[in-house]
Structure 1
Amino acid sequence: MEIVANDVNVQLIGEPLAVGDPLPHFKVFNADNSKVKMAELTGRPLVISVVPDLNTPVCSAQTRKFNLEADQHSDIRFITISKNTPAEQADWCAAEGVKNLTVLSDEEESFGYATKLLIPDLDVLARAVYIMDAQGTVVYRQIVANIGDEPDYAGAIAALAQFQQ
C-alpha cells in the first residue's frame, strides 16, 4: 500500500489489516519496558491509535484526542503504538498528562511487520486507527493517506457506538 509522507509517495511493507481480519500476533513494550503480547490486549473492545512519532505535533494531538475519548468509554481499552522507545513514551506521557490510555513501543517492529504498517524507507509506522472487537477482530480501519494529516476522529468515535450498551 502506498501513502504520502512529506509530499513523497512511500510504500508500506504490505497491505494492512482489513475489516474482518483477526489481530495478528505481535509484541510491544510498555513504559516499564515489559513485553506486552497481542493476546493480552483482547477480551474487551480495543482502539489502536498508531502514530509515527509521539514527539511531533500531529501525533501528540492524535494521542491526546484518544486519551480524552478513553475517559468517555471506560469499557473500551485505548492504546497508542509508536516506534518511540518506552523511555521516550513515558517522558511524553508525563509531560502531556496522558493517563487514560496506554502507550506502547514498537521499537522492535513486531507490530509494524505483523500489521503491515511499517514504512521501511522512513523507519516509522503509518498513521492509522483500528478498532477491534473483544475477540480481536478488526471492525474499523482507517489508514491515513497522508502521514501528516490527523485521522477522522468522528468516524472512529462513531464506530465505537456498536459497543454501547
Structure 2
Amino acid sequence: MKKSFTLIELIVVIAIIAILAAIIAPNAFKAIEKAKIARVLSTLKAIKTAVGSYYADTGKWPPRYDLLNPGFTTNPFLIDPGISGWDGPYVENWNNHPWGGYYAWYPDYQFELDGISDDALLIADDDQPGTSTTANDAQIPRTAMIRIDEILDDGNLSTGNVRGDPGNAIGSLGILIVHNNTLQ
C-alpha cells in the first residue's frame, strides 16, 4: 500500500501556510515603507549638509535644479555651475526618491506666501525622471508623507517646514531647507 497525504492533511497544511502569510505580509510591507522613509530622511540630511557646505564655499545658495524643467537640469551639487568658490561635488550622488520620483531643489521659493522669496525647498516630486510634469507616476503615499512630517515637524502637511503637495503637485513632498536666508 502506497503512503500519501490525505486531502484533509493537505488542506490543513495550506491553511497553516495561509495564516502565516496573512500574519507576515503586512509586517513585511510596513518594514519596506519604514525603510523608504528612512532613506528619504537620510537623503534630506545629506542634502542639507551639502547646502550648508555650498553656501560656506560660495556665499550663495545652490541654484535651482529640476530635471523636468529645461534650463535647470544641471545639478549644482555635483557639477560646477561656474560660481566662484565652488569646491564640490557636495553630494556623492543624487538618486531618485524611493517611490520613483526625483528630488528637485528650489531656491528663492516663497514657502510662506508672504511675498518674499527667501526660502529654499527640497521637493520629492511625483514625476519620474524622463517624463512630464503631469505624469504623476511616482506619487508618495499620503501615509508616508504624514510619517515624514511627524518625524521632522508637526505632522500636519499644511503647516510647518514639511508640506504635502506643494504647488498642487499631488503626491509630492516639499521640505524647507532654508528659511529667511538661514539654514534650517
Q: Which structure: greater strand fraction? A: 1
TM-score (norm 2): 0.28
Look at both structures and tell me which one has the larger radius of gyration over its CA atoms.
Answer: 2
Greater relative contact order (Cα < 8 A, sep 6+): 1
